Structures are given as C-alpha cells and as structure tokens.
Structure 1
Amino acid sequence: MTDTNDTVPNSANTATTGPENADAPLHRRGIKSYVIRAGRMTPAQSRGLEDVWPRLGLTIADGRQDLDALFGRQTPRVVEIGFGMGNSLIEQAERHPDTDFIGIEVHAPGVGKLLDEVDKRGLTNLRVYREDALAVLEQCLPEGSLTTLQLFFPDPWPKKKHHKRRIVQPAFVELIRTRLKPGGTFHMATDWEAYAEWMAEVMDAAPGYANTASSETAPYVPRPEFRPLTKFEARGEKLGHGVWDLIYRREV
C-alpha cells in the first residue's frame, strides 16, 4: 500500500539502518520529510486552492498560532500529518464538530480536493497547511496545544538502505511530545509490519510516552472506531493484508 499521505519521510546522507539518535537534527541540508509527486489538477481541486484557500489555508509565514483565536473557541485539537486526498480527515471533522482539526499536506491536488469538499460541506472546524510538517510543528504550533497528532500510513521506505528516510525517528517523536498536552496522544497506523515494529521500537525508547495498548495486544491497539477505514485499507483487509495501529500517550 502506498501511503495515504502522498508524502515521503526523512532522508539522510549517512548510512544508518536503525532509528536516528534523539539528538539528531530534524532538518539537515537538502533533506525533506516528503517528496512532492506530480499530479493533474481537476476543476474542483483548482477551485479549492484558488477560492477556499484564502479562508482556510495557513502558512509558515503566519508564524506561531493562537489556536483559540484561530478557531474562535477552546476545544480538543487534532493535527494530521500527510492527509493525502483528505477523505479520512474530512470524515473525522464532519463526525466531530466539537473538535478542531489541522491538516498538513504538500500534495497540491490533495489539498485542493480537501478544501473544495470542506467548503461544499460547510465545515468550519478544519484548517490546512501546505507546508513541511516539521517546520509547522517547530514554528507554528504552540507547545502543549494538541490533543492528538495523527500519522496514518506514512511511506515505509521498505529498502534497508532507505530506513534512514523514515519520518518516525527519536527527534521527531520528541518534537511531537512537546506539542501534545499532557495526556495527549500520538496515533500512528501502517500496513507494513516491519515499519510497525520500527515505530514501536522508537516509541518504547522515547521518554515521556506510555503505550496505551493492553497486555494482550501490545504494542499495538485494535483499529479505533474513530479512525475511518479507507477504501484502500478495506480492500487490503479483504486480501488478508494487515494494518497496525499504535497509540502512545504523553505522560509529562
């Protein structure tokens, strides 16, 4: 399964095969946590970017956000990194009007599609960044401001020589921890078992997190009902493909 994000995690110049050191820099020269893939724009996607973006789009240049002022209320806040074409995120925002959502995606057709659909459904609880997720976390989202951060089906970089490109690394999960409220959760999902094991290895070594899985299923949790089942995932399940969810809670 390709990631629903249409984004690709971190690359590096050193030949590491395991998770990076927690002190490793999040940004190294020429390194991005994604690759922008070309795609044609439909009229609806173009409308989203041209007509809806001025109302719901956010940029790095906007600086550090006051999320209460941005949404005009105090509610739980969920950020999803790499929402792809946005179907899952839209469904969550529609199901949970009392929660505010921020999506981060660099793929223009996906951003345009989501914005067009959000406008058609009249949703007011969703904002979008078309930016590097690490830069958004570092520069725009206040510490202790998020209830949940979601990372669903990131690119697994399955070749061993590319493992260093995976976005889930110690420095990345520590940055997320600082943006979560105490008790907030980091929710990951992947359909690559080896990447699921990698995620669990990184998270179990990360300070300030607790795995929410029961002893019977640890380190994984059953797919929560609040995570929408994508068509791709449903098709994979019918073919016997596995999907692994991991949810870790910020303790301190």
Structure 2
Amino acid sequence: MPEEPADDAPSFRKQPVSFVRRSGRMSDAQERAWSELAPRYAFDVPRDIASTSVHPDARLIPAEVYGRTAPLMVEIGSGQGHAIVSAAAARPDVDFLAVEVFRAGLARTMLDADRAGVRNLRLVEANAPEVLERLLPEGAADEVWVFFPDPWHKSRHNKRRLVKEGFGATAGRALRDGGLLRLATDWEDYALQMREVLDAEPEFERAFDGGEDAWAPRFDGRAMTAFERKGIAKGREIRDLTYRRVARG
C-alpha cells in the first residue's frame, strides 16, 4: 500500500478522501479486462483535477447508460465486486452501479460479471462522495450500499471515514424519497459511529425496529464474501444498519 500523505500535505480536495489509492501492477487478465470489457461495463467519468475526481458538470443518466428505466442500486466501495456481481446476476430486472477507486478490483469485477453473463452492471472509478454529490442525478438511486468501508481504525485517521457528520446530505441527495441506505461493518466502533451519525441526520430515519442500541437484521441481498468470512473468523461481529430517505420538503 502506498505511503499515506502527511496530514498537512497539499490536497486537491477540500475534504480528506476515505481511501488510499492502490496502483500496483495488474495481471495480464486484469489489463485485458480494462482494454476489452471496459467499453461495456465502465462509465468514462469526466475528471476534475485529481485522477479519481468527478468534473462538476459530469452526469451519469441511468436511462441512457443502461438503455432502460429500472430500479438502481449503488454500491460504494465495491472492492473486487463479489457482492454486487452476485446481486446483479440474481436480479436482472434491476440496474447496479459499482463505485470503486481500486483499478484491479474493478478489473476483477468486470471479469466476473462477463463470466456470469451479467449485463445490468456498470462501474465508476471515482471518489464516492463526488459520485453521490455530482455524477448521479438527484434522487436517481433506489438504494445505496456501503458494505465494509475502510474503518480507518487509528483515531487520528477517523476523519477519513466515509460515514461521518454530513454523510446524510451526501447519500440523501442521490437517493429517491423512501429509498434505502444499507450499511454493514465488522468494526464495532465504526458501527457505533455510523448509527450515531445517521440517527442525527435529518435526511434519514431508521428502517429497522428496536431501541437505541438496536441493529438491523442482516441484509439477505448481500452475498457472503471472503472478506466478511475473514472478519467473522477473527471474532468480529458483523453489524448491519438500514435507513430510509425522508421525503424532501
């Protein structure tokens, strides 16, 4: 993993990003995925300054990209694509959008999607908040998924976490009224932060039962991945949260 820049280093963005860009050498198969499969699966994002930024005028219009009108599920931080490829294969009537900055992971996603014959999936290589704030039209998504985001477990790095104060406005812009925000993590303190943040955000209300300390039931549409199994094997409890977008105005 590349060395993280110092906290006082110059930045192209006003806010810290929630990732470290991984740019290691890709395999021949992954290189072929980008050259042969990207025209089918990858949305070519107009850039701003940084390589993973989104130009302020860029827009992804789902009906144009997918060639139809259908519910849209957006996964933030799709990794190697195991969860979203499985979901897209199981629900061909729904459109799926994978958002990730890890190029090798996106390549693996394309390879697995092509192997499974999945055609209702598109990929975006970009900083997730900019996708939610700029690239997608307001209210375009039926669901936004945030499964196992980087916990940035050192306290001095917590500011880099994706789900923090203000995330409600970011995710809420992209979701339609009544749309769902689904989250899962195997880090207890991050789960507690997610719940505290989203309980306070005016854009969302809980979509699960129980008292103040409750968690949502496991989302059946989330495939059990090797990453999740690894967390369980280490004794970490998986905690789910589900929130509903409050009607605008």
Match of residue 143 from structure 1: 138
**Relative to structure 1, is the Cα distance of residues 75 and 243 closer, same or farther in structure 2, using a 3 angstrom cutoff?**
same
> How many equivalent pairs are there?
229
CA distance in 2, matches of 1:216, 1:138: 31
Counterpart in 2 of 1:28?
A: 14
Deviations 1:89-117 (A, max 9, x none): 11011011111000011111101111122
What is the aligned partner in structure 2 of residue 237 from structure 1?
232
Report the Cα distance in structure 1 between the residues aligned to 2:159 and 2:177, rounded to whole angstroms.
Answer: 29
1:198-219 superposed Cα distances (whole Å, 9 cap, x missing partner): 0001001000211112116954
Identity of aligned residues (%): 37
Aligned equivalent of 2:24: 39
- The match for 2:80 is 85
Give the conservation status (yes or no) of the 8 Å contact 1:93–1:100: yes
User: Whole-Å Cα distance in 2 between the matches of residues 136 and 102 of structure 1?
Assistant: 11
**What secondary structure does 1:45 align onto?**
helix
Instruction: Return the TM-score normalized by structure 2.
Output: 0.85
**For 1:80-229, what aligned pairs fall within 5 Å after superposition?**
80-215=75-210, 218-229=213-224
Q: What CA distance in whole angstroms lies between the structure 1 residues aligned with 2:212 and 2:115? A: 40
| Residue in structure 1 matched with residue 50 of structure 2 by the alignment | none
> Could you tell me which of 14, 33, 37 is aligned with 1:52?
37
Report the CA distance between 1:86 and its aligned residue: 0.9
Equivalent AA in structure 1 for residue 154 of structure 2 = K
**Distance change (3 Å), C-alpha of 1:125 and 1:152:** same
Verify the 8 A CA contact 1:82 1:104 in the aligned structure 2: yes
Q: Secondary structure at the match of 1:186?
A: strand
Match of residue 24 from structure 1: none
- Residue equivalent to 2:70: 75
Deviation at 1:130, TM superposition (A): 0.9
> In structure 1, how many angstroms separate the alpha carbons of the residues matched to 2:131 and 2:194?
22
Q: Is the 8 A contact 1:148 1:186 kept in 2?
A: yes
Alignment gaps of 5+ in structure 2:
47-56
CA–CA distance in structure 1, aligned partners of residues 171 and 180 of structure 2: 10
Q: Aligned equivalents of 1:190 and 1:97: distance in 2?
A: 27
Shift in CA distance, 143/121, structure 1 to aligned 2, threshold 3 Å: same
Which AA in structure 2 matches 1:68?
A: A
TM-score, normalization: structure 1? 0.84
Moved more, 98-107 or 43-52: 43-52
Aligned-pair distance for 1:248? 0.4
The Cα of 1:134 is off from its aligned counterpart by 1.8
Q: Where does the alignment leave 5 or more consecutive residues of structure 1 unmatched?
A: 1-5, 14-26
Amino acid at match of 2:202: P
Which residue in 2 is equivalent to 1:21?
Answer: none
Counterparts of 1:177 and 1:103, CA distance in 2:
18
Which residue is 1:17 aligned to?
none
Q: Higher RCO, 1 or 2 (CA under 8 Å, sep at least 6)?
A: 1
For 1:103 and 1:218, how far apart are their aligned partners in 2?
A: 31
Per-residue deviation, residues 18-39 of structure 1 (Å, max 9, x unmatched): xxxxxxxxx416x323111243
Change (3 A) 1:57 1:202: same
